Each structure stands twice: as structure tokens, then as C-alpha cells.
Amino acid sequence: MAPGAAAQFDTAALQARQALQGKAGPMALVTNAKVFGIACFACLGGLLYGYNQGVFSGVLAMNNFNAHMGVWTKDQTNKGWLTSILELGAWVGTIYSGFLAEIFSRKYAILMNTVVFIIGVVIQATAVTSAGHSSILAGRFITGMGVGSLSMIVPMYNAECAPPEVRGALVGLQQLAITTGIMFSFWIDYGTNYIGGTGDTQVEAAWLVPLCLQLAPALLLGGGILFMPFSPRWLEHHGREAEARKTLASLRGLSQDHELIELEYAEIKAQSLFEKRTVAEHFPKLADGSASSTIKLQFVAVASLFKSKPMLRRVGLATVTMFFQQWTGINAILYYAPQIFQGLGLGGNTISLLATGVVGIVMWLATFPAVMYVDKIGRKPILVSGAIGMGVCHLIVAGIMATYQHDWPAHVGAGWVAVVMVWIFVIFFGYSWGPCAWIIIAEIWPISQRPYGIALGASSNWMNNFIVGQVTPDMFTGITYGTFILFGLLIMMGGAFIWFFFPETKGLSLEEMDVLFGSVGVAAADAERMREINREVGLDNAVRHGSIAAGLEKGGLDEKADRMDSE
């Protein structure tokens, strides 16, 4: 098949799919209620992630915790370590998560990481003893491993279960779950801060309760995931074809012989066969399906991300997008919000915690528009508008802080304006870079590279998250308002990056993403291999004859005739 013919086929296949699938938008979630429900449950992993991001900011502001930790909360660098060690653990989690998800399935990888998370929380709880900061450091590192891995596997699981018309919304649920966890953690911190009093009479339960409460959703996720379906794309890629087709039909609420199921399953099968046969041709010694070969192939898949221009384009898009997401400054605010608000003139620990609670509410509310409309509006305009809004907010806060930081008591109104600008900044993040960055890294990869590609993007996220968490206390002490200028300039650069380098991906199936990035038919051998597979599964005939069912049936007959001729 010539490159032009391949492009015509891909365009025709896309048009056939769009003619059968429903419209994108809020009503599409209603018609895919089962997928929506499963995604909501899986996003308990995002809830755990968000809760961990938010809970420690309030704990750091509690008198009893500071007294218990001693020098570890008085020194800004040590405070950075107590906070950022979670992100370092999460970075480690993203490194192994791709292999775990590919070998054991997305479903069981979620279960395994939930267990890791629970172990980390239990260790943190022992900080109430003389172990103190050692338990916090070790526990938060292990907890981070769990949430880091879940942050990559849950969006992957949702993306592979979702139909294209709601895929962005369902993956965006990850961010909604994260913001829900953040909101819960802020207000729980605000409430438990009163246990024993807010001063020297405060007791250990004030900070121990919010740390231990995260065990409840973790246990629910670990037990419930056993009853959730496997990803149909993972099943197909691992030779469980009948189960993949049955699961796909069940997820869509349609019969297995429905025309849309026929087309979507054929696309999944074609892409899986293409990648398997490409691996078999280039690495024949690893194509025997044994356990050792499967493990070795995982490293081959990682290496393949850097061996072609289309894949390098994906690598750059995923890692740079996550770099800019973290350097928006969002986690600097989430981790140190009470201290930031005190630095903007809000006096008293209780008032700063209250202002922090508002951050959780506005971020949670701002996430809803993205979840509902990202598949209708598209990723690009949402990301660019969010970047501009966040950048402007940062620069305004920097200007107010530079002018009045040495005399806040005489300029209380200016301090509150700066606080409101922080709240508005959070709104811009909540509807844009929060959900859309995760949508991008979940949907741009081929099947065989997807676990490793998402892990690479999430790895960039967590490493930059770790750096931000580590340096923020010293930045606010050293360059004060310059911190906001730095964040503002960087996110505006991020908006420019998206504008010039990101191709819009809304409405495309995961398999059709290869067409967008130029990965299909780049070489003559690949084009020929894809043509044979499309004919084998019936896609070629389906598109040419204008009837999916008839085309797939004819494709099956042609394949049978070819086998008889060869005999």
C-alpha cells in the first residue's frame, strides 16, 4: 500500500468510526454510564494522590506536629525534604509502573500499588512514637511509590476502557479525583487542627487522624478493583481475544456483533498484531512468549521510545508538558499554602488554614468544566487559555508582594487581593493543566509503548514535582516575590509550547493516534505489514464496502481462502 493509499484508508476508517460513535460532551457520559462508573471507582487512586498532596500542608502548620518533629520543621531545607520525599518515592513508582502494568495487567497493578500505599501510611502513623521524622520520611517515600504508580496506571486503565467520544472526560476524572482528595484533606486538616486546641495544648491526634484517614479509600480501592474488568486492549494484546471482545461489548453496553463493536475491536486487534509482528521481525529471539522474553521485551519497548522521530515527538510532548505542569507553581501552593497565605499578610494559623481550604474548593469546582467539555472544546485551547490566566495571576501577586511585603498590617486589603489572585490562579489550573496534561500523556501512545510512555511522562511530572517541593521553602525565603515571577514566566512559556508543538487529539481513537504522529506507514515494510493485517482482520474490506459487518465477514472469508490456497 502506497503512503497516499494508507493515508486514504486511515481517513476512511476514522470517518466510519465517527459516523457510528455518539457525540462528545456531557450527554455522552450518560450513554456510557457503565464505563463512567468503572472510571469513577478506579479514580479512587487519584483521590489518594490528591489527599497526599494536600494533607501535609496543613499538618506542617500544626503546633503539635512542629513540636514533635523539632528541627525538621524549623529548618527550611529539612521541611522541604519532609514534603518532597513523597514525590521522590512517586518518581520511583512511575519507573516500575510500566513494567508492572504490562506484565500483570492494569487491574492487578492497581491492586499491588494500593498495598504499597497502605504500608506507607502505616509507617507514617508510627511517627507518633520516638521514631518521629524517620517514620515520616520512610512512610511518605513508600506511600509516594504507590501514588506515583497509580497516577500513571489509572489514567491508562480509564483511557483503554473508554470510547473515543468520552475518553478525554473519563481520563479527566483522574484530575477531578485528585482535586477532590485535595479539598477533603484541606478541610479535614482545618477541622482536626482544633483537637486539643490550636496552641500548645494541641495533641498528636490533630495530625495523626488526617494521616490515617487515607487508609479508608485505599482499602475500598484494593478490595473493589478485584471486581472491575480488565482493559480490553490489554486482554487483546496478551492473546485473550474472546475475553477482550466480550469485555469491550460489555463496556459499551452493546452486543458483540454490533457494528461499532466490530469496528472498534478490529482496530484494536489490527494495532496489536502490527506491534507484535514488528517486534517479532526486529527481535525474533524475544518472540517466544516466555516469561523471560516478556521481561526483556519491556526494556526493548522503553528503548524504542527513542529510536524514531514520531516516537521522540511523543516523548518530548509528554515530558515537556509535565515539566510545565509542575512549574506552574501549583504544588508549591498546595504543599505550602498556609505559609504562603501567612506571607501575604494573613495572620494566625487558623485563618491561613481556612484560606487554604478555599483553595481546595475552587480547584474542585474548576475541574468540572474540563471533565464535561474537554472532548468538545479540545485540549489545545484549554491548555493555552489556562497558561495565560495562570501567568497573569502570578505576575499580579508578585507585584503586590514586591510593593507591600514589608508592611502588610497597613495594607490588609492588598494582602487579600493577592490571596484572591492565588484562588483565581487555582481556578485556571483546575480546568486546564490539571486534567489536560494527564489526558495528553494517557492517549498519545501505541498499545505496546503506552505503559512505558505514560510512565515516562509521569516520571517527568514527579521528578519536577520533587524539585518544586524541595526548593520552594528556600525560594520563598530567598527571592520572595521573585518566586511568583519565575512561575509566571515559565507557565507562559508552557502555553507557547502547546500552541506551536501540540497537535489536537480530541475525538481520535487510541489506534488512530498513530496516524496523527506519523508512526503508521512511515517505512514501506510497516505499510505493507499494516495492509496485510487490515485485510486479515477485515478492516480493509469494511471500509471499501461501506459496511463494517459485511467487510469484516468478507475479510474473514478472504483469510480462510488464503490459508486453503497455501495448503
Q: With beta carbons less than 8 A apart as the criterion, state whether 193 and 206 touch.
A: yes
Domains and CATH numbers, the chain: 26-228 (1.20.1250.20), 242-299+519-538 (no CATH), 306-507 (1.20.1250.20)
Long-range contacts of 238-247 (CB under 8 A, 24+ apart): 238/105, 241/269, 244/268
No. of H helices and E strands in the chain?
28, 0
Query: What's residue 370's pLDDT?
Result: 72
Q: How far apart are CA 359 and CA 175, in angstroms?
A: 15
Q: How far apart are CA 255 and CA 10, in angstroms?
A: 25
Q: With beta carbons less than 8 A apart as the criterion, state whether 534 and 270 touch.
A: yes
Provide CB contacts within 8 A for 277, sequence distance 6+. Answer: 529, 533
Query: What's residue 286's pLDDT?
Result: 78
Query: What's residue 564's pLDDT?
Result: 45
| Cell numbers describing residue 385 | 487559555
Query: pLDDT truncated to tens, each residue of the chain (567 aa)?
Result: 333 444 445 555 556 666 666 665 556 666 677 777 887 787 888 888 889 888 988 898 898 998 889 888 888 888 889 989 999 998 998 888 877 888 899 999 999 999 999 999 999 999 988 878 999 999 999 999 998 888 778 878 887 887 776 766 666 677 778 888 988 998 999 999 999 988 888 899 999 999 999 999 999 999 989 988 999 989 998 889 999 999 999 988 888 888 888 888 888 888 788 878 877 877 788 777 666 776 677 777 778 788 888 889 899 999 999 999 999 999 888 888 887 888 777 766 677 777 888 888 898 888 888 767 777 888 899 999 999 999 999 999 999 999 998 888 888 888 889 899 999 999 999 889 988 888 888 788 875 677 678 778 878 888 998 999 899 988 988 898 999 999 999 999 999 999 998 888 887 766 677 777 876 544 345 667 777 888 888 777 666 665 555 555 555 545 544 444 444
Q: 3-class secondary structure for 303-339?
A: HHCCCCHHHHHHHHHHHHHHHHHHCCCHHHHHHHHHH
| Cell numbers describing residue 314 | 511523543
Give the CA distances from residue 192 to residues 204, 266, 411, in Å, rounded to whole numbers and listed in that order: 10, 54, 31
| Cell numbers describing residue 116 | 504499597
Provide CB contacts within 8 A for 216, sequence distance 6+. Answer: none
DSSP letter assigned to residue 173: H
Query: What's residue 547's pLDDT?
Result: 55
Q: With beta carbons less than 8 A apart as the criterion, state whether 35 and 254 touch.
A: no
C-alpha of 439 from chain center:
7
Cα-atom radius of gyration of the chain, to the nearest Å? 25
Give the CA distances from residue 201 to residues 129, 149, 194, 549, in Å, rounded to whole numbers and listed in that order: 18, 39, 10, 73
Q: How far apart are CA 246 and CA 228, in angstroms?
A: 14
Give the closest residue to 357 by CA, choosing from 349, 369, 345: 349
Query: What's residue 25's pLDDT?
Result: 56
In terms of Cβ atoms closer than 10 Å to its own Cβ (0-12, 13-18, 19+), residue 564 is exposed
Q: How far apart are CA 189 and CA 57, in angstroms?
A: 9
Helix, strand, coil percentages, rounded to 5, for the chain:
80, 0, 20
Query: What's residue 563's pLDDT?
Result: 44
C-alpha of 522 from chain center:
29
- The amino acid at 149: S
DSSP-based three-state secondary structure for 392: helix
Dihedral (Cα; 199, 480, 359, 139), 10-degree rounding: -70
Cα distance from N-terminal residue to C-terminal residue, the chain = 26
Provide CB contacts within 8 A for 524, sequence distance 6+. Answer: none
Q: With beta carbons less than 8 A apart as the criterion, state whether 186 and 357 touch.
A: yes
CB crowding 119-149: b at 16 or more within 10 Å, else e: ebbebbeebbeeeebebbbbbbbbbbbbbbb
Q: With beta carbons less than 8 A apart as the criterion, state whether 157 and 107 touch.
A: yes
| Cell numbers describing residue 483 | 518566586
Query: What's residue 290's pLDDT?
Result: 67
Tell me the HSE value of 499 on the side-chain side, using a 13 A CA sphere. Answer: 11
- Phi, psi (degrees; rounded to nearest 5) at 434: -60, -65
- The amino acid at 413: G
Give the CA distances from residue 185 to residues 178, 207, 450, in Å, rounded to whole numbers and listed in that order: 11, 11, 32
Q: How far apart are CA 167 and CA 36, in angstroms?
A: 10
Query: What's residue 203's pLDDT?
Result: 92
- The amino acid at 119: I
Give the closest residue to 335 by CA, choosing from 536, 498, 473, 149: 473
